[in-house]
């Protein structure tokens, strides 16, 4: 039988009502064998995530302040879920142990990790599944990096030899000295991906509170259609679009094993969501898969006659950036021109030193900075074979009277990046969306 790993995020497990939806989802498909759980998230916009409550408690513990009141609220969250579900479980012993570990300075990561630990215990009991403590099966090395080899050697046999089903807390694992370490925020997504790879899952389902990725940011394109299928590579190109839905690092474990990820909505379980698949995926629904944009960009424009025949020109320009420790996003160039696109926040305060350094290194004819630029990345595996994609794109922008200040196309033909004035951003996004998505 196929194996599915299902990860449920904080909003999917925020209260008893959400737990019930999760149970229905899990029980609807016998292949959902390994469940990865987050800590209880927000129940409403002004609620506080249990993870944040735990960080606060621990801050107080470090400062030697009384954290009883804060900790009582954490207990209340869990006991509320247990009571509302009507299950026979007491976490009192765990609460006592956690409290004394706080006094013993068990670490900030330990504190935060208890959010998923306790929630997973409740979920395991509610489902009648085994509970597997991630501390015994997910490992980091001495440098604090995730250690796949060690994890695989312990986690894979454990899962392979299991008859039944299990719940595994997300977000944390152990250091070589046995202390608890967490991934960065939102890291339960990474645990889910690791578990999927360890058990050779056929599918990694990531259940959250949206029905997958939208083709364009719904704050700009209100009725944006969802993306049905996206490849791992396309998702990387659209990196700043996925933010908030899936942790950036969650794709790597499953990607190398060719396991697809399905983003699903716990509140609308019938929605198919978005499938993230390997790069050999068949054709996409539209020529383009997604559009992502970013405001707040600056460009350093450099012009010099015969730049193209000057050996080391580009390196010298980049050296100037390197010296000020400023990274760049893109570097489109012409025969006698070169533009370096940089996030304005990164450039701020370094403008003069970088300009002086470029001047002394390459003696340009013209050198100037343009601010208030936005970049729009149009990504699609369908663009490779489709003639005229750039034509449609630039006609749409011209018809919308948007001036294109910069164009960059990767040789993979997977993306086209255009730079426009920030004030044209919304109009440009809409023009591109309407031209491709019917
Ligand atoms: N609970 C953790 C956080 O809030 C991890 C997660 O939910 O993925 O960041």
Q: What is the pLDDT of residues 391-403, one digit of tens each?
A: 999 999 999 999 9
- For the ranges 66-80, 92-106, 269-283, 360-374, the lowest mean pLDDT is seen at 269-283
Ligand 1 in reach of 10 Cβ (< 6 A) = yes
- The rounded distance, in Å, linking the Cα atoms of 70 and 124 is 26
Ligand 1 in reach of 187 Cβ (< 6 A) = yes
**Contact between 168 and 36 (Cβ < 8 Å):** yes
Ligand 1 in reach of 4 Cβ (< 6 A) = no
pLDDT (0 to 100) of residue 408: 85
Q: What is the pLDDT of residues 207-258, one digit of tens each?
A: 999 999 999 988 899 999 999 999 998 998 887 655 678 998 999 999 999 9
Question: Can you give the pTM of this predicted structure?
Answer: 0.88
Paired strand residues for 275: 229, 262
- The rounded distance, in Å, linking the Cα atoms of 268 and 212 is 11
pLDDT (0 to 100) of residue 241: 59
103 CA to centre of ligand 1 in angstroms: 23
Does residue 321 carry a pLDDT above 90?
A: yes
- The rounded distance, in Å, linking the Cα atoms of 113 and 169 is 9
Q: Whose CA is nearest to atom 6 of ligand 1?
A: 186
93 CA to centre of ligand 1 in angstroms: 23
Ligand 1 in reach of 171 Cβ (< 6 A) = yes
Q: What is the pLDDT of residues 11-45, one digit of tens each?
A: 999 999 999 999 999 999 999 999 999 999 999 99
Ligand 1 in reach of 8 Cβ (< 6 A) = no
- The rounded distance, in Å, linking the Cα atoms of 127 and 36 is 13
Nearest atom within ligand 1 for CA of residue 189: 8
Mutate to test the pocket of ligand 1, among 185, 208, 247 (most ligand atoms within 8 A of CB): 185
Ligand 1 in reach of 115 Cβ (< 6 A) = yes
Does residue 132 carry a pLDDT above 70?
A: yes
């Amino acid at each position: 039988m196929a194996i599915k790993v299902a990860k449920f995020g904080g909003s999917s497990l925020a209260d008893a009502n959400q737990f019930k939806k999760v149970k229905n989802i899990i029980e609807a498909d016998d292949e959902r064998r390994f469940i990865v759980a987050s800590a209880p998230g927000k129940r409403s916009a002004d609620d506080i995530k249990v993870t944040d409550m735990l960080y606060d408690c621990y801050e107080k513990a470090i400062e030697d302040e009384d954290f009883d009141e804060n900790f009582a609220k954490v207990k209340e969250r869990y006991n509320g879920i247990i009571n509302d579900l009507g299950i026979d479980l007491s976490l009192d012993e765990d609460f006592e142990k956690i409290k004394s570990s706080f006094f013993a300075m068990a670490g900030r990561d330990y504190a935060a990790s208890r959010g998923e630990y306790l929630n997973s215990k409740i979920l395991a009991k509610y489902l009648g599944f085994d509970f597997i403590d991630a501390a015994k099966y997910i490992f980091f090395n001495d440098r604090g990096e995730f250690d796949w080899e060690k994890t695989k050697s312990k986690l894979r046999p454990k899962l392979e030899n299991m008859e039944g089903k299990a719940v595994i807390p997300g977000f944390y694992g152990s250091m070589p000295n046995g202390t608890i370490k967490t991934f960065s925020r939102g890291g339960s997504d990474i645990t889910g991906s690791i578990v999927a790879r360890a058990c050779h899952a056929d599918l990694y389902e990531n259940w959250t509170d949206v029905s997958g990725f939208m083709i364009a940011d719904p704050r700009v394109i209100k009725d944006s259609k969802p993306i049905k299928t996206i490849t791992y590579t396309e998702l990387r190109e659209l990196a700043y679009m996925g933010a908030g839905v899936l942790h950036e690092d969650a794709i790597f474990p499953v990607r190398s094993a060719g396991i697809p990820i399905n983003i699903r909505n716990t509140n609308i379980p019938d929605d198919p969501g978005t499938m993230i698949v390997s790069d050999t995926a068949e054709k996409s629904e539209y020529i383009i898969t997604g559009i992502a944009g970013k405001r707040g960009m600056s460009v350093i424009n450099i012009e010099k006659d015969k730049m193209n025949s000057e050996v080391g020109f580009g390196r010298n320009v980049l050296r100037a950036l390197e010296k000020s420790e400023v990274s760049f996003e893109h570097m489109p160039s012409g025969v006698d021109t070169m533009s370096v696109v940089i996030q304005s926040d990164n450039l701020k305060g370094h403008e003069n030193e970088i300009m002086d350094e470029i001047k002394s290194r390459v003696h340009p004819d013209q050198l100037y900075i343009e601010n208030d630029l936005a970049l729009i990345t149009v990504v699609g595996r369908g663009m490779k074979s489709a003639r005229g994609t750039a034509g449609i794109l630039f006609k749409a922008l011209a018809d919308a009277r948007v001036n294109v200040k910069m164009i960059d196309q990767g040789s993979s033909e997977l993306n086209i990046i255009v730079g426009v004035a920030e004030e044209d951003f919304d109009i440009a996004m809409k023009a591109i969306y309407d031209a491709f998505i019917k």
